[in-house]
Amino acid sequence: MATPYSDNIPQVVSDIVATPVVRNIGFSDLREALRLGWEDFKAIPSHAIILCIIYPVLGLVIARTVLGYSVLPLLFPLAAGFALIGPFAALGLYELSRRRERGEEPSAWHAFGVLRSPSFGAMLGLGVILLILFVVWVATADSIYVALFGNTPAASIPDFASRIFTTSEGLKLMILGCSVGFLFAVIALCISVVAFPLMLDRHANTTDAIRTSLQVVMKNPVAMATWGLIVAALLVIGSIPLFLGLAVVLPVLGHATWHLYRKVLEPDPHPWQEPPHPPKGRRYAADFPASLLPWGRDKP
């Protein structure tokens, strides 16, 4: 017999089924995610580098600015901050991996498909949270340096290195700075480890995405701690040659994060179906160069 609430039952059941189910994963899954990330990078290297070229360029700009304005103490915090904002910046890479996983041949323009995602507002919201975390980290690192060495800037790179490696204050700075930076990295990892791929794939809101990321970390603490160490180690390696290595490291990590998301969550039993793309019309010379832009290429 029907009840006043019977019409709501299908919706409730659908919501329960749609809740992400977290798996237990091990070190072999992390290796496989990195391997698949590397395969994605090899399949679409030019696209990945184009998307991430801003990072080595930004790194060089940061280095030049730091040297030019004698704010050397901020160089390491700014470089380390890549780990905090990287998950948001890799949105385009997740989209490329998602399309390649479905058997498509992604192009550079497909990375901008995230801009049309129903959950792009949620992604932007979490991105703002990570940006705030990054700004707070840099300000905290600067405050620690000033508390130990005062406001007198280092005269040169050798002077700065001497302060850091030959004084008791330098030792305190390294210990305290790394400890505080570790806490910021843990926070970023916990709230975003699978959040952005989840929002892209299942169009979750910000709250649900953060909650799922926390559940992933709580259910797989050792694996997620290992993943965080892998990310940190690769970022350090990529930063050593004037940040140029990040043009490879960041795309690989971005693609690998998508595959990590796939491994740590059960597949969605009711995946969202994308609407069919409208047929392409004829191209005219008068449309150039507007037709090269993603929002100008869907004209009939």
For residue 300, pLDDT over 60 is answered with: no
Whether 153 is in a domain gets the answer: yes
The pLDDT of residue 274: 58
Q: Each residue of 42-54: pLDDT tens digit?
A: 888 765 666 566 6
Whether 254 is in a domain gets the answer: yes
For residue 270, pLDDT over 70 is answered with: no
Whether 129 is in a domain gets the answer: yes
User: What is the pLDDT averaged over residues 260-264?
Assistant: 96
Whether 171 is in a domain gets the answer: yes
The pLDDT of residue 65: 59
| Per-chain mean pLDDT for the chain | 79
* CA 296 from centre of chain: 28
- For the ranges 5-9, 28-32, 64-68, which has the lowest average pLDDT? 5-9
Whether 227 is in a domain gets the answer: yes
The pLDDT of residue 61: 61
Q: Give me the domain span that covers residue 208.
A: 23-104+116-267
The pLDDT of residue 240: 75
Whether 280 is in a domain gets the answer: no
Whether 298 is in a domain gets the answer: no
% residues pLDDT > 90 (the chain): 35
Whether 284 is in a domain gets the answer: no
For residue 7, pLDDT over 80 is answered with: no
- For the ranges 3-17, 67-81, 144-158, 272-286, which has the lowest average pLDDT? 3-17
Quote the number of domains for the chain. 1
Q: Each residue of 209-234: pLDDT tens digit?
A: 999 999 999 999 999 999 999 998 88
For residue 9, pLDDT over 50 is answered with: no
